[in-house]
Structure 1
Amino acid sequence: MAADRVVSVGFLTAQDLMILGAGFRRHFPVPHDDVFERLLEQLDRLEATPLADGVVLKAAPPKPVT
């Protein structure tokens, strides 16, 4: 079972799925109803720094309001 454990979670675009090919079926589409909009905005502001065994996530400075 160790070979089946989840090692990554990601956000894929339609182009990403095209590159992965028709054999890639372990994705779960997100509806376009803005339910995840706030979460995605917050994730876009994170800065990731790779480490030897993982990653450090830091909040980026807030975007100026226009």
Structure 2
Amino acid sequence: MKPEDLLLLVGREMPFGKYQGRLISDLPGHYLAWFARSGFPPGEIGRLLALMHEIDHNGLRALLEPLRRR
């Protein structure tokens, strides 16, 4: 993980699927868990979804709040 990835989570929108257009940091936990079970897509989006899953799974979503205010 790179520190810039945290900024991408609060600034990048989901490019496809049921939650298309929603910020990655705002995706519901059950959707992230589904990706974890089914497999994350390749590339940057998959890396960001995996990171957000780890953050959500460990109850650390509050860490992203200061980044939202930037």
Fold equivalence (TM over 0.5): no
Higher relative contact order (CA 8 A, sep 6+): 2
- Structure with greater helix share of residues: 2
TM-score normalized by structure 1?
A: 0.30
TM-score normalized by structure 2?
A: 0.29
- Structure with greater strand share of residues: 1
Q: Which has the larger radius of gyration?
A: 1
